[in-house]
Amino acid sequence: MSTHIGAQAGDIAPLVLMPGDPLRAKWIAQTFLEDARCYTEVRGMYGYTGTWRGHRVSVQGSGMGQPSLAIYANELFTEYDVQSVIRVGSCGAMTERLAVRDIVIGSGACTDSSMNRIRFDGLDYAPVADFGLLRAAHDAATAAALDEAVHVGLLYSSDSFYPARPEHAARMVEYGVLAVEMEASALYTLAAKFDRRALAICTVSDHLVTGEETTSQERERTFGAMVEIALSAGAGTVR
């Protein structure tokens, strides 16, 4: 039983979907999983396990930001032997190539966080997604013929929701970054450390260029397309 999750051995499936918002975790479990059972409410960070098309799947909230996600990812990998984690989150579009409700499958994650600089003694590590999950997610999105546009590319994992240096975002866009979020870099790094699989799939909830945004309730309950992609990709690649 881990400190922050508190689940019993066997409670958590080898495949975990991980939204930041614990209420989105609850919504995903109630909407997409059969026989979903809550295995944790520690600190209000809900976790559920159920089945999707015969595959055992868990959904675990992570909270906002890389330090919070790192706590849950570490415990999932080390205490519960989770093999694959797919982040299903929201992101802010940084370029006019994207529209609100588009989906970004993160091939890699740039960051302004010091977490990896500390981990690698000042070296620049490049956190990337698991290619098998990435390919499976792209294939699932293509097969689903979604109304939402799906993009594959770089995410920017920022430590600040309200950045002190907004010009950094513009520089990222010059180098092909599509959207900003707050967790993928830490997830990809930890998956590499523990030889596990990770992917971030994010729905555009707001647009840094146009100012358009969704409501908090829409972010919690209406981003179902990315969940379907994640479930299809994850269930098809569980070892």
pLDDT at 38: 98
Q: Is the pLDDT of residue 165 over 80?
A: no
Angle between helices 224-235 and 131-144 (to 10 degrees): 130
Percentage above 90 pLDDT, the chain: 90
Q: Could you report the per-residue pLDDT of 130-159, keeping only the tens digit for each?
A: 999 999 999 999 999 888 899 999 999 999
Domains in the chain: boundaries = 15-235
The pLDDT tens digits for 191-227 are: 999 999 999 999 999 999 999 999 999 998 889 999 9
* Residue of 166, 221, 163, 230 lying closest to 26 (CA atoms): 221
Query: For this structure, is 206 an active site residue?
Result: yes
Do the Cβ atoms of 51 and 34 come closer than 8 Å? yes
Q: Tokens 């089945």 map to which residue? A: 51
Judged against a pLDDT cut of 90, whether residue 110 lies above it is answered with yes
CA end-to-end distance (rounded Å), the chain: 24
The CATH number that domain 15-235 falls under is 3.40.50.1580
Give 164 or 73, the one with higher predicted confidence: 73
33-48: per-residue pLDDT in tens?
999 999 999 999 999 9
Chain-wide mean pLDDT for the chain? 95
- Examine the pLDDT at 238 and tell me if it is beyond 70: no
pLDDT-derived band at 166, boundaries 50, 70, 90: confident
pLDDT score recorded for residue 68 = 97
Question: Among 112, 139, 159, 206, which one carries the catalytic annotation?
Answer: 206
Give residue 239's pLDDT band: very low, low, confident or very high (50, 70, 90): low
Q: What is the DSSP string of the chain?
A: --TTT-PPTTSS-SEEEE-SSHHHHHHHHHHH-EEEEEEE-GGG--EEEEEETTEEEEEE---SSHHHHHHHHHHHHHHS---EEEEEEEEEE-STT--TT-EEEEEEEEE--SHHHHHTTT-----B--HHHHHHHHHHHHHHT-SS-EEEEEEEE-S-SS-S-THHHHHHHHTTEEEEESSHHHHHHHHHHTT-EEEEEEEEEEETTT--B--HHHHHHS-HHHHHHHHHHHHTT--
Q: What is the pLDDT of residues 5-40, one digit of tens each?
A: 999 999 999 999 999 999 999 999 999 999 999 999
Q: What is the pTM of this model?
A: 0.96
Amino acid 62: pLDDT: 98
